[in-house]
Structure 1
Amino acid sequence: MDYDKLGLMMGLEIHQQLNTTKKLFCPCECELTDKKPKYRVLRYLRPTQSELGKIDRAAFEESRRELTFLYDAYPHHTCLVETDDEPPHPLNQEALEIGLIIATLLDMQVVDEFHTMRKQVIDGSNTGGFQRTGLLAIQGHMETPYGKVTIENLCLEEDAARRMGQRKGKVEFRLDRLGIPLLEITTDPSMKRPEQVREVAYQIGQVLRSTKVKRGLGTIRQDLNISIREGARVEVKGVQDLDSMEQLVKNEVLRQLKLLEIKDELQKRDAQVEDKIHDLGEQLKDTESKIIHKAIKTGGKVLAIKLKGYRGLIGKEVQPGRRFGTELAGYAKKMGVAGIFHTDELPAYGITSLEVEIINQFLEIGEEDAFILVADEKDKARNALEEVQRRAEMAMEGVPEETRKALDDANTEYLRPLPTASRMYVETDIPTQVVSKELLGYVQANLPELPKEKEARIIDGYNLSEDLAHQLVRQNRVEQFEEIVAECGVEPTTVASLLAYTLKELRREGLDVENLSDSLKGTFKLLKQGKISKDAVSEVLVGVLKENWTPEEAAGNLNLLMLSEENVSTIIVEIVSANENLITERKMGAMGSLMGMAMKELKGKADGKLVNKLLKEEIQKYLQ
């Protein structure tokens, strides 16, 4: 694709949990738990007007779902602040300082005063219907191989509750995560190529990891804002994997291009979305479709709408493996139905050709027309079709502004409309926090080492290759590397290679290498003492991980302990004696062949330099 011609623009939002001892506005622990909750809280949430009398469109749509929210609470991980039954405590100063460090490392301008705001969110992830957030810094920048990227904002906010599942209109959350300090870093939309987004996300991630941030699955989340010139801005939530970012961008650009093609075709056909909703209960009362039969039997309704000029377009692929019908279904599902039936996929799912013809006649479906059918409880089915009508009308305008969810296959699905400015208002329970010059000066005088600086230092200090140094920094293993080298006295490149590459290979084999600290040191001490060879290090670690042995036990049980010089000498004498003719013929030229025989016999239990020395001495004795 010619991204310049398409006018591709992308911005990035990164959300990173901070590793503080307390939450942002209360003294509760910042750890997650899987224990049984001590008590539960039930809530209903509804949207409110902004100070200008407006209601945020995303909040309004969430309210239409009429969900109930159930929250699990715990003695040490939650308190009355999380349940919104007590005013927030003063701002966590440790979190503020970490935010100031990140702002300084990103060359941002720090605000004079930190004002806490309320951001209306009624999807249940906050018990009070809002998230507390505040602007901490603006206007930083980052250099990339593809150009300079401006970092517009850095906000300090509280993380949301953990969504655990949904059943029968009730959504369950855990409050342990609610209130954990979180940094939100937002770039401008100046990125023009898919690979640039990944580079910026990686660089920001490296800066974050140089400070006190949490690590592991779910502690950092990336959101992407993507648009093309004739399309619209779409926010993609929850991009977890950096390696899938480029493909996700390509798939979203493809989706917008396909939606523009659909718009052009709809306009050519003079398409129209009829606003009437039809009841097909009588027409399908004897159907063999299990879904429809179940809906009718339980008192539900079979409802349908007519889309003039949409035939053939609902089945058009807009992303790999996903069709325009999936886009329509995404809107319907937000109202609680399982899915939709449409013209381009029928007959199927138990609906026969005859029943399709009956529906076509009843709805007066023309050659270019289509219908959408939903079978569920009356209100659910009606609300779902109203949403489908709304989305189908948007198709005639092109690409709608949306918030979408990132999927594992680098595609996306509809979540909700883009929020508006109407959802932000001042938090009156928290006083303004002055960011003093003294505090900022202290932070700037005690900055951590940046990734690039760390790479340069260990290349120079340990004579490592650029690749090894880069891998150690990228995998956050520099501190571990320096500790092992200092304590065990092993050659640095050997240690770096194992940490950067061998552990990665063991992880691919399904072994848990994250808690190997003491065993790594024990293994390298065996190497330093000459008890095992360099080649045996990974085998020792496999024994440690699989059998829960100590490094010494693994080396002994796997027969990896090095032979004494006396034992090695005995084996070499036997090899020389057995190959006298070879030595007579080639003299010292027999060294290569005999060395191979010796190393094969010794199976890595002797140092190569020692074997070479003893073999040379033994051949010389024979030739004298």
Structure 2
Amino acid sequence: MTEYDYEALGLVAGLEIHQQLDTATKLFCQCPTTLREPEESTRSFSRYLHPTRSELGELDDAAVEESMVEREFEYLAYDTTCLVEEDDEPPHELDAEALETTLEVAQLMNMSPVDQAHVMRKIVVDGSNTTGFQRSTLIATDGEIETSDGAVGIEDLLLEEESAQRVAETEAGVRYSLDRLGIPLVEIGTSPDISTPEQALEAAERIGMLLRSTGKVKRGLGTIRQDVNVSIAEGARVEIKGVQSLDDIDDIVRNEVARQVELVDIRDELADRDASIGNVRDVTDVFEDTESSVIGGALESGGSVMAVPLFGFDGLVGREIAPDRRLGTEFSDHAKRHGAGGIFHTDELPAYGVTEDEVTALRDAVGVSPEDAVAIVAAETDTAETAIDAVAARAATALEGVPEETRGANDDGTTRYLRPLPGAARMYPETDVPPVEPDPSEVSEPELLTEKVERYQDEYGLGEGLAEQVAYGEYMPLFEDVVDDGIDPTLAATTLESTMTELRRDGVAVANISREHLEEVFAMADGGDLAREGVPDLLRALADDPDQSAEAAAEAAGLGSAGEEEVREAVVEVVERNEDQVEAEGMQAFSGLMGECMGALRGKADGDLVSELLREEIQKRA
């Protein structure tokens, strides 16, 4: 990948970090924030959504384009789903626990809370909210974080409701699950102070660390999302949505810079060629006898083939502007947005069953020369007409350079077109929720994860690596709680980070092991009712049958703690069984026999006790 002089290009970038909060209930109702499997849904209902006007009577461009595709939105409801989630009852007051956590985040970023927080409605008509809008509340402004390349400002901190979870595409539209809808979510927006891909990644990592320092954010895939705003001096601001992995942020920025550089070069080349966009034409007749399965299938269903001549575009539609993405891919994204499967263009034809003769006939039908290109869409007639108009509009913006737009992040670090950038017309006040007055004086500033690592080493005697694993791990809040209750820190840390990790790698369903299970296991091991060596086996048993208590699982698996006499009997039996080896090797036989003793006791005895008794028995016979 080409590494650019980002300063010379005038790279400007900013981040929007969205993090789910780990609260007991949702933001505007008392429903739990636990995710469910779609198979657990008890019923479903459907809605059609349409954009509404702002207070000034304006319509948001992004919402208007979204509504151009008529879709039915199906929602999976559960036994926990309430009328608020269905939009059949007004929202309740803002959740106090979520507000408190948001104020903690504000303190960590040196932000100033607002005097009065008002809930706003943000129009979203893609079906992800049953209401057709997302509720969002500005909580704090004017903060700052540090990076190795300088400070990055934090412009705003908002408390929002999470959207519904997209489950599947259906013939009529989209199916969503309501389990995620309404989970409290903080949105953190930085100033456009980021000037390199590396700084973008570092800033995101810093914000992620600060969020996790509260101990009150959800962990796991999908609980945090990063949006990145990127532009170069000759390009335009592009918002890239849904970066799932933190490690992808620098590559996303690099690829977007490369894409904008290529689009600027294409703009200049098109200007030199005096390029232009022709009128859309129906070219169905050209493909009446086609062997192309895609085009033939559309025609057999009564569809049409629509074309747009692109004067001066020859060779440029197929030009790569990002890894495995071309200008023609951008055109195709816009066609797909309006229901088509994609486009064909003359830079890639003949191919896909389209013959050389058909390409010649196509060129003749729309009146283009060898210096020109043609893009076509084959689909149901209305869809083909709408899609080719969208392609023509996108080709026209290529004459201007880089369009401002919202794009989606792909897994390979590239992006795809989603919709136009939203404007101010998408926001208007929520009249069903009273304003609140945040009181930061009642909120203590959380301890940073970096500070926790040092404290865990100093106070608990953990090694640096283990201390860091615990502090940054998903079990950090549980670790602190059980240690405060008197559980040995080393037992808690090794179990939560080492043992649980090993079990997960072995394919054990550790997700079935609840916080209550772990607390019970720690209490048994710390109180002498369970040998520490038996902890992994007990956790396996609980993962296999999570409905039982730790005490019941230990009893069923024979994992109680053995007394000294029982341990000595087991050790003596092993030593006598290997008497010849002991006489010949003496204490050198210890290592092999130790493993045999532990196996015989099946995790019911502490390793230190077994070791002590085994040494005694070997010395008696050596």
Question: What interval of TM-score do these two structures reach, taking the shorter chain for normalisation?
Answer: 0.7 to 0.9
Q: 1:154, 1:179 → 2: CA distance? A: 18
Query: Corresponding residue for 2:508?
Result: 511
Contact 1:159 1:180 in 2 (8 A): yes
Alignment counterpart, residue 358 of structure 1, candidates 335, 355, 361:
361
Relative to structure 1, the CA distance from residue 121 to residue 356 in structure 2 (aligned partners, 3 Å threshold; closer, same or farther) is same
Given the alignment of the two structures, is residue 452 of structure 1 paired with residue 450 of structure 2, yes or no? Answer: yes
Q: 2:466, 2:64 → 1: CA distance? A: 52
TM-score, normalised relative to structure 2: 0.83
> For residues 101-149 of structure 1, what are the alpha-carbon distances to aligned partners after superposition, in whole Å with 9 as ceiling and x for unaligned?
3222322101111123232323333444433322111011222344322
Query: Corresponding residue for 2:51?
Result: 46
Relative to structure 1, the CA distance from residue 105 to residue 175 in structure 2 (aligned partners, 3 Å threshold; closer, same or farther) is same
Alignment counterpart, residue 285 of structure 2, candidates 274, 282, 286:
282
Contact 2:282 2:304 in 1 (8 A): yes
Q: Give the CA deviation at 1:471.
A: 1.1
Q: Percent identity?
A: 44
Q: Letter of the 1:394 partner, please give it.
A: T
Bigger CA drift: 467-476 or 562-571? Answer: 562-571
Alignment counterpart, residue 350 of structure 2, candidates 336, 347, 350:
347
Relative to structure 1, the CA distance from residue 567 to residue 173 in structure 2 (aligned partners, 3 Å threshold; closer, same or farther) is closer
Q: Letter of the 1:270 partner, please give it.
A: D
Q: Give the CA deviation at 1:301.
A: 0.9
Q: 1:543, 1:82 → 2: CA distance? A: 37
Query: Corresponding residue for 2:225?
Result: 221
Query: Corresponding residue for 1:260?
Result: 264
Q: How do 1:469-548 residues align onto structure 2 when only pairs under 5 Å count?
A: 469-482=467-480, 492-493=489-490, 495-516=492-513, 518=517, 522=521, 538=536, 541-542=539-540, 545=543
Contact 1:540 1:555 in 2 (8 A): no
The alignment partner of 2:400 has SS state of coil
Q: Letter of the 1:388 partner, please give it.
A: V
Relative to structure 1, the CA distance from residue 31 to residue 497 in structure 2 (aligned partners, 3 Å threshold; closer, same or farther) is closer
Q: How do 1:161-560 residues align onto structure 2 when only pairs under 5 Å count?
A: 161-168=164-171, 170-209=173-212, 210=214, 212-274=216-278, 276-435=279-438, 439-443=439-443, 446-482=444-480, 492-493=489-490, 495-516=492-513, 518=517, 522=521, 538=536, 541-542=539-540, 545=543, 550=553
Q: 2:187, 2:180 → 1: CA distance? A: 16
Q: 2:85, 2:573 → 1: CA distance? A: 74
Contact 2:225 2:244 in 1 (8 A): yes
Contact 2:48 2:71 in 1 (8 A): no
Relative to structure 1, the CA distance from residue 471 to residue 7 in structure 2 (aligned partners, 3 Å threshold; closer, same or farther) is farther
> For residues 188-207 of structure 1, what are the alpha-carbon distances to aligned partners after superposition, in whole Å with 9 as ceiling and x for unaligned?
12223334334433443344
The alignment partner of 1:365 has SS state of coil
Contact 2:512 2:543 in 1 (8 A): no
Q: Give the CA deviation at 1:49.
A: 5.5
Contact 1:523 1:551 in 2 (8 A): no
Gaps of 5+ in 1: 584-589
Q: Letter of the 1:504 partner, please give it.
A: T
The alignment partner of 1:282 has SS state of helix
> For residues 522-568 of structure 1, what are the alpha-carbon distances to aligned partners after superposition, in whole Å with 9 as ceiling and x for unaligned?
4895699698685x7656655664688945665779xxx99834554
Q: 2:565, 2:263 → 1: CA distance? A: 67
Q: Give the CA deviation at 1:150.
A: 1.6
Gaps of 5+ in 2: 547-551, 602-606
Q: 2:318, 2:537 → 1: CA distance? A: 54
Relative to structure 1, the CA distance from residue 425 to residue 345 in structure 2 (aligned partners, 3 Å threshold; closer, same or farther) is same
Q: 1:538, 1:85 → 2: CA distance? A: 48
Q: 1:495, 1:179 → 2: CA distance? A: 33
Q: 2:580, 2:45 → 1: CA distance? A: 82
Q: Give the CA deviation at 1:19.
A: 4.2
Relative to structure 1, the CA distance from residue 617 to residue 508 in structure 2 (aligned partners, 3 Å threshold; closer, same or farther) is closer
Q: 1:381, 1:456 → 2: CA distance? A: 63
Bigger CA drift: 594-603 or 150-159? Answer: 594-603
Q: Give the CA deviation at 1:242.
A: 1.8
Q: Give the CA deviation at 1:507.
A: 2.1
Q: 1:551, 1:147 → 2: CA distance? A: 54
Contact 2:512 2:542 in 1 (8 A): no
Q: 2:565, 2:360 → 1: CA distance? A: 82
Q: Give the CA deviation at 1:228.
A: 2.8
Q: Give the CA deviation at 1:85.
A: 5.6
Relative to structure 1, the CA distance from residue 229 to residue 505 in structure 2 (aligned partners, 3 Å threshold; closer, same or farther) is farther
Q: 2:559, 2:96 → 1: CA distance? A: 52
Q: 1:523, 1:499 → 2: CA distance? A: 10
Q: Letter of the 1:45 partner, please give it.
A: H
Q: Letter of the 1:313 partner, please give it.
A: L
Contact 1:231 1:260 in 2 (8 A): yes
The alignment partner of 1:468 has SS state of helix
Contact 1:248 1:410 in 2 (8 A): yes
Contact 1:23 1:179 in 2 (8 A): yes
Given the alignment of the two structures, is residue 60 of structure 1 paired with residue 58 of structure 2, yes or no? Answer: no
Q: Letter of the 2:379 partner, please give it.
A: D
Q: Give the CA deviation at 1:500.
A: 2.3
The alignment partner of 1:114 has SS state of coil
Q: CA RMSD in A?
A: 3.8
Bigger CA drift: 504-513 or 385-394? Answer: 504-513
Q: 1:533, 1:71 → 2: CA distance? A: 47
Contact 2:342 2:377 in 1 (8 A): yes
Query: Corresponding residue for 1:8?
Result: 11
Bigger CA drift: 517-526 or 284-293? Answer: 517-526
Contact 1:455 1:473 in 2 (8 A): yes
Q: 1:527, 1:89 → 2: CA distance? A: 44
